[in-house]
Amino acid sequence: MSVAKKIIERHLLSGEMKAGEEIGLKIDQTLTQDATGTMAYLQFEAMGVPRVKTKLSVSYVDHNTLQSGFENADDHKFLQTIATKYGIVFSPAGNGICHQVHLERFGVPGMTLIGSDSHTPTGGGIGMLAFGAGGLDVACAMAGQPFYITMPKIIKVNLKGKLRDWVSAKDIILELLRIESVKGGRGKIYEFAGEGVKTLSVPERATITNMGTELGATTSIFPSDEITKDFLVRQGRGNLWTQIVPDADAVYDGEIIIDLNELEPLIACPHMPDKVVKVKDIEGITVDQVGIGSCTNSSLADMLLVARTLKGRKINKDVSFVVSPGSRQVLAMLGQSEALFDIIESGARILESACGPCIGMGQSPKSAAVSLRTFNRNFEGRSGTKDAQVYLCSPEVALAAALSGKITDPVKYFGKKPDIKMPEKFLIDDAQFQQPSEDGSKVEVIKGPNIVSLKQFTFDLKNNATAALKVGDNISTDHILPAGAKILPFRSNLPKISEFTYAAVDPDFAKRAKTIENGIIIGGENYGQGSSREHAALAPRFLNIKILLVKSFARIHLANLINFGIIPLTFDNPKDYDLIETGDALTFADAANILKNNEDFLIKTKNGKQIKANYALTQRQKEILLAGGLLNWIKSDSK
């Protein structure tokens, strides 16, 4: 068997390992971050479970660290107290980005992990089977419930050869995005194999699995081998290592070959991670801003490369250059050496160990700026500047641009790449992690005025709906509900944050949707790609959206829609997309009976034409929809 199938088999609670079948998995670990965690813990609290049932659950504060008002600080206190009460480790602001920190201090090869952040598959770099999920799915896992997914196809990514100087792991995942596209990974696990795997460190592997999310993949994974063991030993956790490698005769559902010897520096152009070209083909474009960091490229190895390359050099005077180390451990180890001095002396601005500009939390570029970032997403407006031209690249390409002031091929710009030697032992100081109380019954959960109790939805759709909005292909959750410093503080306040739903696409959407009894959104391919934020389903449901009718869905968003009682439909004939416009009245038979009796979902347009819509739902998923959402279904099921 493959690595992925071995771990799935050990955690399988229901279903069969046949591609396309629903399976239920036992979850060992969970993680949340503060932008999604507040809602996840409100949901967990509503379940009435006295303590988490996972082997480990960690609550990180890494998104909403900008405290420009009381809202974020209130959320942090809520997260701290609810973690103490329910048996969750709490990682406060400043401790680092959840995926980087979890890899360093908590990741265990062979375990399952789900997180309320779409880049949780970072854990695949250490040999974990790690999934991004909506907050409610994470809450259910903490309560001991299985995590349900459709059994994916396992695709072998055969890495041959070895990377050349100034070509990096980021170029491997950019090449895979160029081959597969942002929707090519739907229903797939990418498992990396071949002799090239042995040339990649755990941080390099984690860069690849982190950004594998942008493929639309279920997850990505590397084997747990001697390189994994070496990383864990240096982190003082060598006793947790287990070897997990594919069988010699492992069978895969497909294979992609990438020759590392032939790979060149690559870059993703605005405004999609799969618009990948060779750096040398677009050299010369003037650059205004460069950012190095995020959960994709903020490891100690990345930062040491930055320091060694910048030593004795100065950043171009026309470039705003920011660097954000991924964790307190990384920042502290930079501070122990001259590395931090070299970065600062070059003219760089050092940011907090947090997500920061990746989610539009500060460092928005100037109007129409060209910004090169080592991040994982470059959706339009995500930076906080709608007309910014954001490119995604490796630290190597970012450094060449920061120094030259233009997009530049680092292979030509620099000489020999410096040899980065990692320390035999990492600085280990876990004092900042706050352990939960042994007796949570005595702990008071503190909720500030911005934390609003959950609204309970019911299934109240009958036989008609109005098209509240029509959108195109590759709509991301950033389109549906933006991030950024102005909006993220309201993640625990559903009535307030719903006002921003689709604000960048149609400023009048929220106001209009409130006046519609039963709303339906019409969309194209790969609807809901990007972040796992369940608010992109919750807020539309709060605004009376009852149905999504699109050409295809992204995995996590599809699950979130079901979790909050929105019926996910796809066009049987994609050409029927052209038959509906915003404002159209649509009719159909009683929706509840259609789902209960497994009948065809036939929708009549205002012009009298009939559209067939498909729903590939399991019996469990139909019951969740009819209950008004997953939380209602769990409560009724437990009676």
What span, in angstroms and rounded, lies between the C-alpha atoms of 219 and 25?
14
Residue type, 237: R
State the chain's mean pLDDT as an integer.
95
- Active-site residue 76, yes or no? no
- Active-site residue 63, yes or no? yes
What span, in angstroms and rounded, lies between the C-alpha atoms of 231 and 244?
15
Question: What letter would DSSP give residue 120?
Answer: G
What angle do the packed helices 535-542 and 555-563 form, to 10 degrees?
Answer: 40
Place of tokens 């960048």: 504
Residue type, 629: G
- Active-site residue 531, yes or no? yes
pLDDT at 502: 97
Residue type, 61: V
What is residue 610's three-state secondary structure?
Answer: strand
CA angle 460, 465, 466 (to 5 degrees): 135
Comparing 490 with 173, the larger pLDDT belongs to: 173
CA angle 28, 33, 39 (to 5 degrees): 95
525, 183 in Cβ contact below 8 A?
yes
What span, in angstroms and rounded, lies between the C-alpha atoms of 90 and 68?
22
Give kind and range of the element (H or E) at residue 613: strand 610-614
What angle do the packed helices 169-180 and 202-211 form, to 10 degrees?
Answer: 30
Rounded to an integer, the average pLDDT of 473-482 is 94
Q: How do residues 186-240 score in pLDDT, each as one tens digit?
A: 999 999 999 999 999 999 999 999 999 999 999 999 999 999 999 999 999 999 9
Comparing 483 with 392, the larger pLDDT belongs to: 392
pLDDT exceeds 80 at position 8: yes
Q: Residue 456: which pLDDT band, with cuts at 50, 70 and 90?
A: confident
Question: What letter would DSSP give residue 260?
Answer: G
- Active-site residue 429, yes or no? no
- What the block records as the tokens of 317 is 């005077």
Catalytic residue among 28, 34, 63, 476: 63
- Active-site residue 62, yes or no? yes
Residue 191 bridge partners (DSSP): 156, 221
Q: How do residues 249-299 score in pLDDT, each as one tens digit?
A: 999 999 999 999 999 999 999 999 999 999 999 999 999 999 999 999 999
What span, in angstroms and rounded, lies between the C-alpha atoms of 432 and 483?
27
400, 413 in Cβ contact below 8 A?
yes
Q: What are the C-alpha distances in Å from 56 to residues 32, 86, 89, 346, 542?
A: 12, 12, 8, 41, 32
Q: Residue 639: which pLDDT band, with cuts at 50, 70 and 90?
A: very low
pLDDT at 395: 98
Q: What are the C-alpha distances in Å from 265 to residues 136, 206, 278, 389?
A: 39, 18, 6, 19
Catalytic residue among 181, 371, 531, 552: 531
pLDDT at 452: 85
Q: How do residues 583-630 score in pLDDT, each as one tens digit?
A: 999 999 999 999 999 999 999 999 999 999 999 999 999 999 999 999
Give kind and range of the element (H or E) at residue 470: strand 464-470
Residue 23 bridge partners (DSSP): 149
pLDDT exceeds 60 at position 638: no
- What the block records as the tokens of 153 is 């196809």
The CA radius of gyration of the chain, in Å to the nearest whole number, is 24
- What does the buried/exposed string (b/e) look like for 285-320 if buried means 16 or more CB atoms within 10 Å of the residue's CB? eebbbbbbbbbbbbbbbbbbbbbebbeeeebbeebb
State CA 286 to chain mean position distance: 30
Domains of the chain: 3-262 (3.30.499.10), 266-413 (3.30.499.10), 464-637 (3.20.19.10)
Rounded to an integer, the average pLDDT of 549-559 is 96
Instruction: Give me the half-sphere count of Cα atoms (radius 13 Å) on the Cβ side of residue 158.
Output: 7
Q: How do residues 87-144 score in pLDDT, each as one tens digit?
A: 999 999 999 999 999 999 999 999 999 999 999 999 999 999 999 999 999 999 999 9
What is the bridge-based pairing of β-strands 276-278 and 266-268? antiparallel
pLDDT exceeds 90 at position 454: no
Find, among 106, 99, 129, 122, the residue nearest to 56 by Cα: 106
94, 66 in Cβ contact below 8 A?
no
pTM, whole model, 2 decimals? Answer: 0.94
424, 593 in Cβ contact below 8 A?
no
What angle do the packed helices 555-563 and 135-142 form, to 10 degrees?
Answer: 70
What span, in angstroms and rounded, lies between the C-alpha atoms of 149 and 120?
15
Question: What letter would DSSP give residue 146?
Answer: P
Rounded to an integer, the average pLDDT of 402-425 is 95
pLDDT at 66: 87
What span, in angstroms and rounded, lies between the C-alpha atoms of 239 and 262?
37
Catalytic residue among 75, 117, 137, 478: 117
pLDDT exceeds 90 at position 520: yes
Name the percent of the chain in helix, strand, coil, to the closest 5.
35, 20, 45
- DSSP E strand stretches across 205-316: 219-221, 254-259, 266-268, 276-278, 289-292
